[in-house]
Chain A
Amino acid sequence: MINVRIKKTWREFGLDVNFQIPHKKVTALFGPSGSGKTSTLRIIAGLEMADDGTITHGEEAWFDKMKKINLIPQRRSTGFLFQDYALFPHLSVEKNVAFGIKGREKLKEVKELISLVGLSGYEHCYPEQLSGGQKQRIALIRALARKPEILLLDEPLSALDMETRLRLQEDLKRIIQQFQTTTLFVTHDVTEVYKLADYVVVLDSGRVVKQGTPEEVFMGKRLSTRIQVAGKVVDIESDSIMAAVTVMHEDQYFKTLIDTEEVDRLNLKVGDGVVIGAKSSDVILFKALIQD
């Protein structure tokens, strides 16, 4: 368990958060842009220093303002995946992955890791020769290679197009599960939270406003949650009364009708992440003609 209780003030923004990252679980740090997600992640990694508070990993303090403890990033045992991956452009894929590994078994380990993400044969390529998705996977195994206590992912999929993103969500989930590493990832995409996270901490304007499982946080009491689909809005057709919203979930599309007023109230746009839920009483079942 990692306990985070930190405060930091910039000129026009204040961060004051207190939450826990459960052991060997995947936690999402969710919120709109500018809510302090990335700063929180960077402070946990030791790349920035909080003004006050504590960060503890089990019994070990990584940061404690009162006790004047502030471990340097090298001693925090974190694996950090940067939003734009930060692969070393002058090093081959193999050397990038090996960068954090010490010891004799280095080369064998690197080969195994590269094959784990399906990129065998790319060992001697340079980052500029890789696609966005390939870079992301290499950066991920580079971060995992030194077996960190916590994996910190800063919007791991945001730089990719939607199709690659959906495919890589699966990969990311598989790899994280395989390593069984405590993970904290930053996202503003509700579908990613649903897909990847066991637990979610919602930030807004530098404060934790909600935390719990994705269902607890997003559904609340508004829905009986018989049916839940998290996806991305791909189309909105509206007239003055009703709007037909098409939502993509993985490779399937759902169309739902809601009041046009509701669309305006939510400021719903194409590309937004949404959850569609339906109470059992509202479900309309069509009997389809099925031919054997």
Chain B
Amino acid sequence: MNFAAPFLLTLKLSAITTLLLFILGIPFSYWLAFSRFRGKFFVESVVALPLVLPPTVLGFYLLMAIGGNSFVGRWYESIFNKTLAFSFQGLVVGSFIYNLPFAIRPFQSAFTGVDKKLLEASWSLGRSKLYTFLFVIFPLSRQGIITGCVLAFAHTVGEFGVILMIGGNIPGITRVASVAIYDEVQALNYGTANIHAAILLAFSFIILAIVYFINRRFFTRLF
């Protein structure tokens, strides 16, 4: 049970993060893809930051932002009567932010890749922007959407720095697989660390193989 717990926690965190990125990321990516807002480059730069920042830097600022002394931290504590930092919910917040570019960028580029004439055709056939999104843009962007979701999921599985900074290493709560490996190595349990690491390696490889498989356009008619 102890052996499986970090993996189950990792999968739970990855699934929730991916679901949130799907629900909130799609309208946000639509806005990024089609808005003519002049400051869009600024928003795009902020979203892309996790791609270049060391996870510890991001983790440190997130800890400052959601810690017990912060506005968000105190607000959360006053409502839920527990801290956001060093909790599973805190990990979800951190994961969500850390994975934004991995989901948003494929979503956005899929949306902008849809031929503008198809959108205009839909509008001139009397269909609203929402209808056009649901029945033209979304189905034609499915590859990008699936790619974004799979990448966000896989990347969450592999997270380490951000999680350690904002979640620590609390068994059953914040001790995900990557942290467990670090822990086992610290305790010189190389055998256990090796099993954990091999499972993560195999899992990551399978996920990437799926992404490349989808991008071969093999799934086009299946979804």
> Are A and B physically bound partners?
yes
How far, in Å, is B192 (CB) from chain A's closest CB? 48
Query: When each residue 135-154 of chain B gets 1 if its CB lies under 8 Å from chain A and 0 otherwise, what string results?
Result: 11001100000000000000
Cα–Cα, bound, A277→B135 (Å): 52
Flag if B120 contacts A47 (CB, 8 Å). yes
- Checking B117, B126, B127 against A86 with a beta-carbon cut-off of 8 angstroms, the contacting residue is B117
Is A88's CB under 8 angstroms from B124's CB?
Answer: no
Residues of A within 8 A of B126 (CB): 74, 100, 102, 146
Per-residue A-contact encoding for B59-78, CB less than 8 Å = 1, 0 else: 00000000000000000000
A231 to chain B, nearest CB (A): 31
**A102 to B140 Cα, complex, angstroms:** 22
Give Cα A49–Cα B118 distance, bound, in whole angstroms. Answer: 19
State whether A80 and B140 are in contact (beta carbons under 8 Å apart), knowing that A74-B127, A74-B128, A142-B125 are contacts in the complex: no
How does the 8 Å CB contact mask read for A67-102 relative to B, with 1 for contact and 0 for none?
000001110101110101010111000000001101
Chain B residues with Cβ below 8 Å from A80 are 120-121, 124
Cβ–Cβ < 8 Å partners of B121 in chain A:
80, 82, 86, 88
Contacts of B115 in A (CB 8 A): 86
CB-CB under 8 A from A247, the residues of chain B are none
Return chain B residues, CB-CB under 8 Å to A55.
none
Q: How far is the CB of B160 from chain A (nearest CB, A)?
A: 39
Report B-chain residues with C-beta under 8 Å of the C-beta of A78.
124
- Scan A38-55; emit 1 where CB is below 8 A from any B CB, else 0: 000000011100000000
Is B87 an interface position by the 8 A CB rule? no
Interface of B is mostly: helix
Residue among A73, A88, A100, A102 making CB contact with B118, cutoff 8 Å: A88
Q: Complex: how many Å from CA A47 to CA B124?
A: 8
Complex Cα spacing A244 to B123, Å: 49
B residues 105-121 touching A (CB-CB < 8 Å):
115, 117-118, 120-121
SS of A interface (majority): loop
Q: Which residues of A contact B139 (CB under 8 A)?
A: 90
Of A45, A84, A90, A142, most buried by chain B (CB within 10 Å of CB) is A90
CB distance from B5 to the nearest CB of A (A): 43
Q: Kindly list chain B residues whose C-beta atoms are within 8 Å of the C-beta of A45.
A: 120, 124
Chain A residues near B123 (CB-CB < 8 A) = 46-47, 72-74
**Separation of A89 and B123 alpha carbons in the complex (Å):** 16
Contact size class for A? 20 to 34
Interface residue B89 (Cβ < 8 Å from any Cβ of A): no
**Residue among B118, B122, B125, B126 with most chain A CB within 10 A:** B125
A86 with B120: CB separation less than 8 A: yes
Query: Does B118 lie within 8 Å of A146, measured CB to CB?
Result: no
- The answer to whether A73 and B124 touch (CB under 8 A), given A89-B140, A90-B140, is yes
Residues of B within 8 A of A76 (CB): 124
Q: In the bound complex, how far is the Cα of B124 from the Cα of A90, in angstroms?
A: 18
Distance of A102 Cα from B131 Cα, bound (Å): 13
Per the bound structure, the CA–CA distance linking A62 and B124 in Å amounts to 14
A265 smallest CB distance to B (angstroms): 39
Residues of B within 8 Å of A73, CB to CB, are 120, 123-124
Nearest opposing residue in chain B for A146, CB measure: B126
Q: Is the CB of A100 within 8 A of B120?
A: no
Query: Which residue of chain B has the shortest Cβ distance to A95 in the bound complex?
Result: B135
Q: With a CB–CB cut-off of 8 A, which chain B residues contact A146?
A: 125-126
- Nearest A residue to B125 via CB reads A100
Q: Which A residues form the contact surface with B (CB < 8 A)?
A: 45-47, 72-74, 76, 78-80, 82, 84, 86, 88-90, 99-100, 102, 142-143, 146
- 10 nearest interchain CB pairs? A100-B125, A86-B121, A80-B124, A86-B117, A73-B123, A73-B124, A90-B139, A74-B126, A47-B120, A82-B117
What are 9 A-B pairs with beta-carbon distances under 8 A?
A47-B124, A73-B123, A80-B120, A82-B117, A88-B122, A88-B136, A90-B140, A100-B127, A146-B125
